[in-house]
Structure 1
């Protein structure tokens, strides 16, 4: 296999699972990051090469030049796989230039951004007949009346640009309980130069969150897919998956495949849905257009997304596949799940008994691997260092 796989982002377990998913098949993996600090994914035995690049935000032109210079020196075009939203944004911006040097599933510039941006996603979903939570835009006429009569409190103030919002506030959204909190949250976002929308909270505990994970081939048709159900997330209620199970929900295929195919999407995408606890209706919440937290679970269930991507782009696609039964497998990010459990117990959303019972399932670990233990110990060292510095400041 002459085509290398260039993986953007090695300071998180998404990059780690991507490296492992490819390296196990003998593919030459290249871990790229702007810093060598905390890049524990690159410590994997399946990482063939590690590179230090310019920062994608501070020097985007230098970052793109670094990538194209590297690819131009290879005997065959590398496959480019981003493992963070910020990398997807810059790939979308420079897609035409990068496609001259790299194999990238998406061929149309702008589709990534449309699905990542909350406002354009909401419009696209409504045009395609997919249910989304009732939404109000800050600049629309009668905004406050709509919030108070249609959306109602409590409600969510969500960013149009999620990566920038998370980078600034270290959270995905603001939850507000009244008009005063709403106006304060909007002002806080605007002071940071960020646009926001307001959405209704769909009723239901965190286990009403589901995902449709799919790979669409170069004909923009779903070729591989699996569905999952969240059990716990961190931060609790409005965070990322920390304990999630594979769960066969065919209705999500019916909604999700139709939507992504109608968008002309190519490559991997994960749609997050919430099932209304009162009506049973599924609402589209967001779309992730890069390898996600659940990658290790999907691979263990039989849908190895990075390898599927690599095989198709290098001219030897794998046969279509789908997980159409319950495997009982769960994804587990132990570190943040412990923090989440503390929050669920404190707010009485879960009991000790419910938490304990949940652990008796076969797991796809976010970081730990008997075959490849070094990244776990690198991660442990990183976390220990953070706690040591925190206590030293007290």
Structure 2
């Protein structure tokens, strides 16, 4: 079998999906993009078709979208690429129904649920001896009495992000002390009852944020990359990274491989950590069972993750690879305004910021060989600001 005899369906066409479209399209793989929002991938020269579907936010919407695509294009044996947690969950929970028609490069639900529910993530990490921030899981307001009153400031966040994010547009809220914690807990519990996590805030900003990224198979990383997530948007609880530099994968490999083996994981994955300056430990914050926003940094650093997964799915050999350190990625449409806000707040110096811009090796959207998505993104900025906060 050769590349091009089997195509791919990218579910979600923002800049993350665009990276997958380009990765596969450069190798001659026919790609269809399906999205329930206006997205920039439709403008890519590498997208064979772009289809707007009613919803990709739950199992029913994902199954209906894929049924419609099958009826319209056939697509037997095509590879599915989910770009959001809820799509990954839908594919994992419905693998028996979908697996007879599509190739699904994602793990089973027993693995996905550990990443889907942060309570499961932290419980497994604690069992394996992997450091995590001090965390509490209060089921009601009275249980806040068990939270260490001296551990503030706190992050108040949902165990299952999707039940919270689409309602609030944020990943977490900050509470400075016990009184504010109680007030914010009430607000969070009204949105995601029984799913609220209270967690200590680890000191430090982007210089403390790291990630381990991999294509993981048979208990080993086939492709791996570690990254320092130097800037994010927004700066406190970032929805997405805006400036990232690759570092030595060995930095985070041992705890990450231990965790993924315990999950029985297969596919693309990003594990987010924060380096705690108080004890020098990397503490696990999140596990994303999908491509991550800056996955195109991998191609620039020598590890083209979507292409490697495609090869594996169609039965072609995949040679182990580790991304090289020192390569830098940016998404300027969010990095520039976020830098302006940090500069105004006194958290960023103009000269040091401009110096980092001169070192960018690859940009999230702009590419000379495929320029239209960048122009389309500029036109969509008002829509993206309202719909996604960029």
Q: TM-score, normalised by structure 1?
A: 0.90
* Structure 1 residue 192: Cα displacement: 1.8
Q: 1:384 and 1:189, CA in 2 relative to 1: closer, same or farther beyond 3 A? A: closer
Task: Provide the C-alpha distance between the structure 2 equivalents of 1:50 and 1:75, rounded to a whole number of angstroms.
Answer: 14
Corresponding residue for residue 346 of structure 1: 344
Please state whether the residue corresponding to 2:251 is helix, strand or coil. Answer: helix
Q: 1:281 and 1:376, CA in 2 relative to 1: closer, same or farther beyond 3 A? A: same
CA deviations over 1:282-313 (Å, ceiling 9, x no partner): 00010111111111111111111111111001
> Does residue 335 in structure 1 map to residue 317 in structure 2?
no
Task: Provide the C-alpha distance between the structure 2 equivalents of 1:246 and 1:385, rounded to a whole number of angstroms.
Answer: 31
* Structure 1 residue 386: Cα displacement: 7.4
Work out the number of aligned pairs and report it: 380
**Would you say the 8 A contact 1:92–1:113 is kept in 2?**
no
Corresponding residue for residue 24 of structure 2: 22
Extract unaligned runs of 5+ from structure 1.
389-394
Corresponding residue for residue 123 of structure 2: 123
Please state whether the residue corresponding to 1:236 is helix, strand or coil. Answer: coil
Corresponding residue for residue 376 of structure 1: 374
Pairwise mapping of residues 283-362 of structure 1 onto structure 2 (< 5 A)? 283-323=283-323, 325-326=324-325, 328-362=326-360
Selected match of 1:9 from 8, 12, 17? 12
Corresponding residue for residue 33 of structure 1: 35
Task: Provide the C-alpha distance between the structure 2 equivalents of 1:22 and 1:297, rounded to a whole number of angstroms.
Answer: 15
CA deviations over 1:159-209 (Å, ceiling 9, x no partner): 111122111111110100122221121111222234211011112222110
CA deviations over 1:253-278 (Å, ceiling 9, x no partner): 11111211221100010001101112
Corresponding residue for residue 94 of structure 2: 94
**Would you say the 8 A contact 2:141–2:182 is kept in 1?**
no
Corresponding residue for residue 139 of structure 1: 139
CA deviations over 1:328-384 (Å, ceiling 9, x no partner): 321111111112212221222221222122222132111111110111111111126
Task: Provide the C-alpha distance between the structure 2 equivalents of 1:385 and 1:294, rounded to a whole number of angstroms.
Answer: 21
Corresponding residue for residue 392 of structure 1: none
Please state whether the residue corresponding to 1:45 is helix, strand or coil. Answer: coil
Task: Provide the C-alpha distance between the structure 2 equivalents of 1:294 and 1:386, rounded to a whole number of angstroms.
Answer: 18
Pairwise mapping of residues 230-309 of structure 1 onto structure 2 (< 5 A)? 230-239=229-238, 240-309=240-309
Please state whether the residue corresponding to 2:170 is helix, strand or coil. Answer: coil
**Would you say the 8 A contact 1:215–1:224 is kept in 2?**
yes
Please state whether the residue corresponding to 2:131 is helix, strand or coil. Answer: coil
Corresponding residue for residue 391 of structure 1: none
Task: Provide the C-alpha distance between the structure 1 equivalents of 2:384 and 2:124, rounded to a whole number of angstroms.
Answer: 42
Extract unaligned runs of 5+ from structure 2.
none
Task: Provide the C-alpha distance between the structure 2 equivalents of 1:264 and 1:245, rounded to a whole number of angstroms.
Answer: 28
**Would you say the 8 A contact 1:54–1:63 is kept in 2?**
no
Task: Provide the C-alpha distance between the structure 2 equivalents of 1:203 and 1:197, rounded to a whole number of angstroms.
Answer: 18
Q: 1:168 and 1:307, CA in 2 relative to 1: closer, same or farther beyond 3 A? A: same
Q: 1:85 and 1:75, CA in 2 relative to 1: closer, same or farther beyond 3 A? A: closer
Please state whether the residue corresponding to 2:147 is helix, strand or coil. Answer: helix
**Would you say the 8 A contact 1:236–1:343 is kept in 2?**
no
Instruction: Decide which moves more: 152-161 or 185-194.
Output: 185-194
Q: 1:9 and 1:244, CA in 2 relative to 1: closer, same or farther beyond 3 A? A: same
Corresponding residue for residue 84 of structure 1: 84
Task: Provide the C-alpha distance between the structure 2 equivalents of 1:63 and 1:131, rounded to a whole number of angstroms.
Answer: 35
* Structure 1 residue 69: Cα displacement: 5.5
Q: 1:109 and 1:96, CA in 2 relative to 1: closer, same or farther beyond 3 A? A: farther
Task: Provide the C-alpha distance between the structure 2 equivalents of 1:91 and 1:387, rounded to a whole number of angstroms.
Answer: 28
Instruction: Decide which moves more: 61-70 or 269-278.
Output: 61-70
Instruction: Decide which moves more: 80-89 or 25-34.
Output: 80-89
**Would you say the 8 A contact 1:71–1:102 is kept in 2?**
no
Pairwise mapping of residues 162-181 of structure 1 onto structure 2 (< 5 A)? 162-181=161-180
